[in-house]
């Protein structure tokens, strides 16, 4: 049958045991090994094949082969990891932590060297265009 307040035991137990609150942001928990966080690209390895652009479910990546420009709209990225899986050179990765919050709309665009016919030179990397 019913009881009056069976919750009492639980709340009293809570009072005398450790609280479960994680004191974020003062203490940041170690992220999980496989967590899918912010997307980034090793632009040096990118061959501008545009597979990521075509496979992205959110259509947030655009690749300009001529200029050697890889652009991603981080505000549309859904962090699914599809592009990472299909990249032939494995140059796309997810960081383990999430992308920081922003107050302005911004794009990630990375300038690499587009592959010359046959020959692939080492590409210069520019900082993220924040």
Partner 1 sequence: MSKTIIPFGPQHPVLPEPIHLSLTLEDEIVVEALPALGYVHRGLEKLCEIRDINQMIQVVERVCGICSKIHAQCFCLGLEKMMNVEPPPRAEYLRVVWSELHRIHSHLLWLGLFADSFGFEALFYQLWKIRERVMDINEATAGNRVIISVNVLGGVRRDLSAEQVRWITSQLNMVEQELKDLQSTILDDYTIRSRTVGKGILTREKAYELGAVGPTLRGSGVAQDCRQLGSSALKHLEFQPVVEQDGDSFARNKVRFLETLQSISLVRQALKGLPKGEIKTKFKGSPEGEAVSRVEQPRGELFYYFKANGTKNLERLRIRTPTFANIPPLAAMLPGIELADVPVIVLSIDPCISCTER
Partner 2 sequence: MDEKTYSENSADKPVEQPKAVLETRQIQAGSLKGEILLLKDQGYRFVTITCVDLDQESVDLIYTFDRGLEMVHLRIRQPKAESAPSVSDILFAAFLVENEIQDQFGICFDGLVLDFQNRLYLEEEVARTPFCRYNVTRNSK
Partner 3 sequence: MNTIQIIMALIAGLFLAPLAVGLITGLDRRITARLQSRLGPPILQPFYDIGKLLGKEAILTNQWMAFCSLAYLAGAVISVVLFFLQSDLLLIFFVQAIGSVFLVMGALSVPSPYSQAGANRELLQILAYEPLLILVIVGIFLSTGSFKIGAVYAMDQPLLFKMPLLFLVLGIALTIKLRKSPFDISGSHHAHQEVVRGVYTEYSGPYLGIVEIAHWFEIVLFLCLISLFWSTGVVGLVILLGVTYFAEILVDNTTSRMTWKWMIGSAWSMGLVFSLINLLWLYYG
Residues that bind partner 2 (CB under 8 A): 51, 54-55, 85-86, 88
Nearer to partner 2, 46 or 108 (CB): 46
For position 93 contacting partner 1 by CB under 8 A, the verdict is no
Report what 51 binds from partner 3, partner 2, partner 1, none; CB cut-off 5-8 Å by kind.
Answer: partner 2
Report what 17 binds from partner 2, partner 3, partner 1, none; CB cut-off 5-8 Å by kind.
Answer: partner 3
- Count of CB atoms situated within 10 Å of the CB of 128: 14
Residue 55 vs residues 22, 73, 77: alpha-carbon distances, Å: 37, 15, 12
Quote the CA–CA distance of 102 and 126 in Å, as a whole number: 21
- Strands 61-64, 69-72: parallel, antiparallel or unpaired by DSSP? antiparallel
Residues 44, 55, 107, 113: which binds partner 1 (CB under 8 A)?
55
Greatest alpha-carbon pair distance for the chain in Å reads: 80
Query: How far apart are the two ends of the chain, measured CA to CA in Å?
Result: 63
**Residues of the shown chain interacting with partner 1 in the complex, contacts defined by CB under 8 A:** 1-7, 9-11, 14, 20, 32-36, 55-58, 78-82, 85, 94
Residue ranges binding partner 3 (CB under 8 A): 5, 7-8, 11-12, 14-15, 17, 19-21, 23
């Amino acid at each position: 049958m019913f009881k009056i307040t069976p919750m009492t035991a639980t709340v009293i137990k809570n009072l005398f045991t450790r609280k479960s609150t994680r004191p974020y942001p003062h203490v940041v928990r170690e992220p999980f090994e496989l967590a899918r966080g912010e997307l980034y690209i090793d632009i040096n390895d990118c061959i501008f094949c545009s597979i990521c652009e075509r496979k992205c479910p959110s259509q947030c990546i655009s690749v300009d082969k001529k200029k050697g420009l890889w652009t991603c709209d981080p505000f549309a990225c859904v962090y699914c990891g599809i592009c990472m899986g299909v990249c032939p050179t494995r140059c796309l990765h997810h960081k383990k932590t999430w992308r920081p919050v922003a107050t302005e709309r911004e794009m990630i665009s990375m300038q690499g060297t587009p592959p010359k016919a046959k020959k692939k030179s080492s590409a210069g990397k520019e900082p993220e265009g924040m």
